[in-house]
Amino acid sequence: MSNASNLQLNRIDMTIPGLLQHYRNGDFTPAQLLQTLQAEFARDTSNPVWIHALSAQEVEPYLRNLEGKSADQLPLYGIPFAIKDNIDLAGIPTTAACPAFAYTPQKSAHVVELLVAAGAIPLGKTNLDQFATGLVGVRSPEPWGPCHNAFNADYISGGSSSGSALAVAKGWASFSLGTDTAGSGRVPAALNNIVGLKPSKGLLSTQGLVPACRSLDCISIFALTCADANRVFDIAARFDASDAFSHANPYSNSKRYFGPPATTPVIGVPAKSELEFFGDSDAQDCFTRSIDHLQTLGWTLREMSIAPFVAAARLLYQGPWVAERTLVTQALLEQNPAALLPVIRRIVEAGLELSALDSFRAQYQLQQLIQQAQPLLQAVDAIITPTIGTTYRIGEVQSDPIQLNSNLGYYNNFMNLMDLAAVTVPTGFFQHGCGFGVTLFHRAFEDKRLLALAAQLHAVAAPTLGATALKNPPCTFSAKGPQPFIPVVVCGAHLEGLALHWQLAERGAHKIESTTTAARYRMYALAGGPPFRPGLMREANGVALPVEVWAVPREQFGSFVADIAAPLGIGKVELADGRWESGFICEPYGLQGAEDITELGGWKPYLARGPR
């Protein structure tokens, strides 16, 4: 086992499975890793990642929590993580990058408690744009100041979750918590070559979070890989009754479903006329190469309008939602306005001029845009956009803080307003060295599907992780992705045009194909009726019989099965090509009084002949 004094960070695999394997191998202990990391924080002060890095004394209770445990018992055993400093960590000041606002919580945020219980060790509280208001990472006052990009110190890191992204990109934290109201969990991920998950609203509790816009806020996850983001998501996505905005995660979005889609993904690509790169041809070339990667994967691309999303993005800061930011800072505005950076004060003071009329007018407009977006989302498995259309030097943003920040929100500000889930994944680099990434998004509670798609894209597009020398591991899955539809084989009264077909049609099922069973089935006309029904039985002297395969919406499958009357039920039916799909089968007792109609060649020929 190594001593802490001779641990070399550049030789440590900081991915979650990598670190767990180091611990299993006995390469070093969590305490030795933490000692090495803390020494690195003290040495590397060129970039103000931390607002408060935990001391050895402050870390000690978390190390004691691991005593008697192992990497095989806790899913995040000894995994170091960083916390954006608008999220509470018990006993450590929360500042939101505003010294006059600081308070010391006695209790950690709900999400932090879950992660610590799983074995993770907090490293400290990270720098951010003040009150999480910004996408640039330069809106932090002294004594901290602006963060800079992990690859080029002249350029912005992205924000507002700047320090959290940098802690991961630099290989100090295996993952980190940020927040994402308008893109703060995605912009810094793209610029620093890491993964940024903006979960569906409400899946990660916001209890213990200083709000930005409380109705829109998400705690987000930064990680080196999509698999690591997925692992953290599985632990952190828990319903919290103390959070009025909390949602339970549906089963189809649970830990069982981080896997590839069952069919070739269809990805929506913005119409060229609606792409905005703000005159940056380098960014345009980066996005073109990203689309090339999708074609390498063999995915189906469908050009589409993103106009409703772009229009909704403008509402976030030009509409009444800015008043939510005003609520958070109201006491400071009234009692100590100088505590706010001038750009932050300018933004939040605008909320004082808004009326209830403005609020309802904007809500009506947003709802119309959401309605317009539904058929676009329905047509694809995900939509891809650049995460940012350009980037800027720190000095440029300081000279024009509002407009340039707004430009970075073009592909981001609409996500939470429209209740979408999103993942940003690295796909390349600007010529000046900063990272470039794309965002995959879709409806709420499609986090798992998006993470799986992003993992496949990441594997072909990004050879290294963050600003480290770590190689991007191959993309592997241990589960299947969720299916929005369940194939059902029908052979009788549910066939198209027959008596019970309405049970499929009214549930929104669509036809996949007409085919036949394997040559191992016999069909019987069951006694009773109407409606008259066949029984399909697998027998040694069977033949191939005509069937239809219908895709039943996942959420409708249970009620469909519940309506099936005995002796029929749903089992597995073998098709001509060897597939086994869910379909109608018959209990043996149901054959009493039944007529073997196999030789007629199916149910429709039997109906044409008529019962005997």
In contact, 82 and 37? CB cutoff 8 Å: no
In contact, 69 and 77? CB cutoff 8 Å: yes
- Nearest C-alpha neighbor of 556 from the set 493, 480, 497, 504: 504
Q: What are phi and psi of 516, to 5 degrees?
A: -135, 160
Q: What is the torsional sign of CA 232, 382, 191, 147? A: negative
In contact, 149 and 190? CB cutoff 8 Å: no
Q: Residue for token digits 């029929």? A: 568
- Angle at Cα 439 formed by Cα 382 and Cα 147, nearest 5°? 165
* Three-class SS state of 179: strand
What one-character-per-residue DSSP string does 286-330 give? Answer: HHHHHHHHHHHTT-EEEEE--HHHHHHHHHHHHSTTHHHHHHHHH
List 438's β-bridge partners, or say none. 386, 425
| C-alpha separations of 310 from 291, 380, 409 in Å | 20, 18, 9
In contact, 71 and 78? CB cutoff 8 Å: yes
User: How would you classify the pairing of strands 435-443 and 534-538?
Assistant: unpaired
- Nearest C-alpha neighbor of 410 from the set 283, 313, 290, 318: 313
Which letter, b or e, does each residue of 181-207 get, where b requires 16 or more Cβ atoms within 10 Å of its Cβ? bbbbbbbbbbbbbbbbbbbbbbbbbbb
In angstroms, the first-to-last Cα distance of the chain is 83
User: How would you classify the pairing of strands 219-223 and 195-198?
Assistant: antiparallel
**Rounded distance, CA 427 to CA 457, Å?**
8
Q: Which residues are catalytic?
A: 84, 160, 184
- For the chain, how are helix, strand and coil distributed in percent, rounded to 5? 35, 20, 45
- Nearest C-alpha neighbor of 510 from the set 480, 538, 490: 490
